[in-house]
Amino acid sequence: MGAAMNVWLEVCKVVVFASGGQIPDSAAQTYYGRLLAANAVCELMTSQLVGVLSDKFGRKPIQVLAQLGQVIDYSIAGLCLPSLGVVRQIPADVAENLLFCSRGIAGFLGNYKVTLQSYTADISSADECPDNFAALGGAMVAGMCAGSMLVAIVKTMELSYRACFFASTAMNLSIVLIVLIGWKDIAPRKSFSFSEANPVAGLQVLTISRAMVIYSVLVFLSSFALNMFVSTLDFYCGKFLKMDKRFFIGLGLFWALQSLFILAVVQPILTRRIGEVLTLTLSFASLSVFYTLFCLLTPSTWALSYVVIIFFSFGSMCYPLAVGLAAREVPPEQQGTLQGAISILETTAKIFAPLLASDVLIPRFEKEGDFHGMVYFVAALLMVPGVHLSHQLKKYTCHLDTSQANSSAQIAVEMQ
């Protein structure tokens, strides 16, 4: 995913600017935002179905379907780029609509994180859950790091970025094999009615406690701000900060290495020293500081992005912590339902955040003399209620006594 994410904008540029003429510089970014939204809409329609099907039939087959959706998506995106001498390039006029179809197929086949996070909760004790989610996040970041390195190699060798998408496709196929061979479905199976596949019906699990409601809001806020950031970062750094593509890839690599260390080493230490709630609050505060500082960068100060990115790396703790703590609130047979509901929150953010950023804020503030950083200033404002709400969790949760917990199942966090 890391290799593909770094070059998606290149696909959009090829498609949008192929016809020539007077096309705004932000047109490729706008098109990219709409592709992300289309994928998220389709994902939203099946997010709860993916969760309840994994509760009924196991995590393994549903994860395989999600990975095959990525294979289709990345393969078609790669074929829209200049040929590597294997298969000729898809014409831009065909690719413009075809990419919406491939992104939609990937969305319909499901968000891979639903079953991945459900499986992680299945194999974790109540005490291990937040740390294991952090380790999962660290593994994802390591993959992003490897993807950034691949993009840098392709850039240095002056190859077509199609190579990045083909490599991503190969990785997804290898994941399919790993899941088929290595995963052991251990969660108890649960029967379901098709009414439970209704996305709205699945949201009920997010209201079972006050703490769960707060976790839900935190997941939505962090996802919304994150999608505003990652969907525009490539364009923003190149257009407004005048950052060379090599330095942009280096920034992504630097962030990935920092986040990997923070998720794997720093987060477990912090949760044991200051507690999970304070660590969660710290991560939201770090994100607010990061977005504020990043929006103030200019073409003459872009190098400072390598300094302020440390706050973004600390902020990477908020999502795995919030999801890991929420997973304690429900029993094993409802993990799929919970992760499906969380996916609804994420995909809703993925629909509206790129549209707000790419269709509204960037075109509105792209002229010379405008405050180009408005898109990230809005993201910073979204983190402020996240800081307050995460701090409020102290009122509704207390430390989990693992000596009294049933290690074979997730249990609800004790309420004060």
Q: Which amino acid, 95?
A: A
**Confidence class for position 18, pLDDT limits 50, 70, 90:** confident
**Among all chains, which residue has been given the structure tokens 């990230």?**
376
- The token pair at 116 is 């991945």
> In this predicted structure, which of 150-159, 271-280, 305-314, 396-405 has the lowest mean pLDDT?
396-405
User: Is residue 264 assigned to a domain?
Assistant: yes
Q: Is 105 in the same domain as 217?
A: no
Q: Is 103 in the same domain as 148?
A: yes
Residue-wise pLDDT for 55-95, tens only, equals: 888 889 999 999 999 999 999 998 988 876 677 888 888 99
**Confidence class for position 131, pLDDT limits 50, 70, 90:** confident
Residues 412 and 416: their CA atoms lie apart, in Å, by 12
Residues 178 and 172: their CA atoms lie apart, in Å, by 10
Q: Is 221 in the same domain as 180?
A: no
The chain-wide mean pLDDT, for the chain, equals: 84
Mean pLDDT for the stretch of residues 315-321: 89
Residues 209 and 414: their CA atoms lie apart, in Å, by 11
Confidence check: pLDDT of 405 > 70:
no
User: Is residue 415 assigned to a domain?
Assistant: no
Whole-number pLDDT of residue 411: 37
**Confidence class for position 46, pLDDT limits 50, 70, 90:** confident
**Confidence class for position 209, pLDDT limits 50, 70, 90:** confident
Among the candidates 162, 184, 206, a domain finishes at: 184
Rg from Cα positions in the chain? 21
Q: Is the pTM of this model over 0.95?
A: no
Q: Is 325 in the same domain as 250?
A: yes
Domain that holds residue 39: 1-184
316 vs 23, higher pLDDT: 316
- The token pair at 77 is 């995106």
Whole-number pLDDT of residue 416: 34
Residue-wise pLDDT for 280-316, tens only, equals: 999 999 999 999 999 999 999 999 999 999 999 999 8
Contact, 335 vs 342, CB < 8 A? no
Confidence check: pLDDT of 24 > 80:
no
